[in-house]
Amino acid sequence: MSFKIGQLKIGNDIAVIIIENNQVYKINKGGPQRTLDILRDCVGPNALSEKIRDIKKNFGFSLLTSEIKDLDKLGRIEKPLYPPEIWAVGVTYKRQALEHDKDLEKRKSDSKGIYSYVYSSERAEVFFKGFNRTCVGNLSSLFLRSDSKQTMPEAEMVLVLGEDGLPIGYTLGNDLTAWDIETESPLFLNQAKIWDGSSSIGPFIIPADQIVDPYLCMLRCVVKRDGKEIIKSSGETSQLKRSIEELCYFLKLHNKVPCGTILFTGTCCVIPHNFALEDNDEVIVSMSQIGELRNNILRHKVVDKNYNRR
């Protein structure tokens, strides 16, 4: 049995959905009503598949539709889970390290070479990427900061972590980055990475045992403007510099993240560094095993300054 897991809002209720081939099922009454409840206590790559099989045996599934393309007619596709914490690792792909450093040189930045340094260093770069509230799901809007003129998409494979902080599933993510803020000073990284609507995940979670080899996945990132493709980038996880266990090790080091935490693994889809997302663009992140994560782009309204500089 091979399947994906998601959440669908039907009226005021959230239902966990299981997608098998083209068919979408809902867990029957009495069963778990959130994916986070299913993930609890899961440890190891087979845990999520086994849990779903147990839930099917104990509560049963009901067919919602035999056509996955009709899913959004039945309700609103939610994030595949509401993550308690969102973390990310950065510069795990050489192309990204090189392009970032090249652009810093062009901008005559004082931070010359920092990305290549981090790419090769023993310590992985781990940064906080927010909470459930800063992250959106498939077909929801991602937001640009009003104080950034250059925000770029980052298409990434995302780990869904079990009780022991190792992956029990995978999903896709977009790690929006306010590149102009990040390049102004590395100390502005938090503002360059976290705001309301700064990341998306979805459309579904695939249990870890269904990804034959996580280092053999192809990701694509497309940006459409006025319906036309203006950016097209792709990359393979075979180019990931560090092992998945190594990334999780650095995240968990003296930092016990809760089950259901997600970890963005860095972007392999490098975007030209003069590119900036605009209002009403659409970003599509895809990987054949998981599907397509689509988000349109909106910009936050300017917030008046209610202070004077001392």
Can you give the binding site for ligand DO4, defined by CB under 6 A? 88, 90-91, 96, 125, 154, 175, 189, 266-267
Q: Is the dihedral of CA 155, 157, 160, 164 positive or negative?
A: negative
Distances (CA, A) of 19 to 26, 210, 214: 9, 13, 20
CB nearer ligand DO4, residue 61 or residue 87: 87
CB 82 within 8 A of CB 53: no
Provide, rounded to whole angstroms, the least separation between the CB of residue 186 and ligand DO4: 7
Minimum CB–partner distance for residue 45 and Mg ion (Å): 24
> What is the spatial distance between Cα 13 and Cα 9, in angstroms, rounded to a whole number?
6
Give the shortest CB-181-to-ligand DO4 separation in angstroms: 11
- Using left for φ > 0, alpha for ψ between -120 and 50, and beta otherwise, residue 7 falls in beta
> Using the rule CB under 5 A, is 175 a contact of Mg ion?
yes
> Judged by CB, which is closer to ligand DO4: 91, or 136?
91
Q: Which helix (H) or strand (E) holds 229?
A: strand 228-236
Output 59 or 249, the one with its CB closest to ligand DO4. Answer: 249
Q: Would you give the end-to-end CA distance of the chain in angstroms?
A: 64
Establish if 125 lies at the interface with Mg ion (CB under 5 A). Answer: no
Which residue, 40 or 220, has its beta carbon nearer to ligand DO4? 220
Stretch that binds Mg ion, among 39-47, 53-61, 227-235, 266-274 (CB under 5 A): 266-274
Q: Which does 96 bind (CB under 5 to 8 A by kind): ligand DO4, Mg ion, none?
A: ligand DO4
The answer, yes or no, to whether the previous bond of 272 is cis (omega within 30 of 0) is no
CB of 80 to Mg ion, least distance (A): 19
In whole angstroms, the minimum distance from the beta carbon of 210 to Mg ion comes to 24
- Helix (H) or strand (E) run with residue 9 in it: strand 3-10
Q: Which two tokens stand for residue 163?
A: 């009780």
Number of Cβ within 10 Å of residue 186's Cβ equals 15
**In angstroms, what is the minimal distance from the CB of 221 to ligand DO4?**
12
C-beta nearest to Mg ion: residue: 175
The binder of 91, among ligand DO4, Mg ion, none, by C-beta within 5 to 8 A per type, is: ligand DO4
Contact yes or no for 59/181 (Cβ under 8 A): no
Burial class (CB in 10 A: 0-12, 13-18, 19+), 249: middle
Q: What is the DSSP letter of 33?
A: S
Based on CB atoms, which residue is closest to Mg ion, 25 or 264? 264
Smallest distance from ligand DO4 to CB 192, Å: 8
- 154 is a site residue for Mg ion (CB under 5 A): yes
Helices (H) and strands (E) in the chain, counts: 8, 19
Main-chain phi, psi angles of 220, to 5 degrees: -130, 150
Query: Do residues 208 and 170 make contact, with C-beta atoms less than 8 angstroms apart?
Result: yes
Q: Give the residue with the Cβ less far from Mg ion, 64 or 152.
A: 152
Which partner, ligand DO4, Mg ion, none, binds residue 101 by CB below 5 to 8 Å per kind? none
C-beta closer to ligand DO4: residue 96 or 233: 96
Q: Which does 180 bind (CB under 5 to 8 A by kind): ligand DO4, Mg ion, none?
A: none
Contact footprint for Mg ion (CB under 5 A): 154, 175, 267
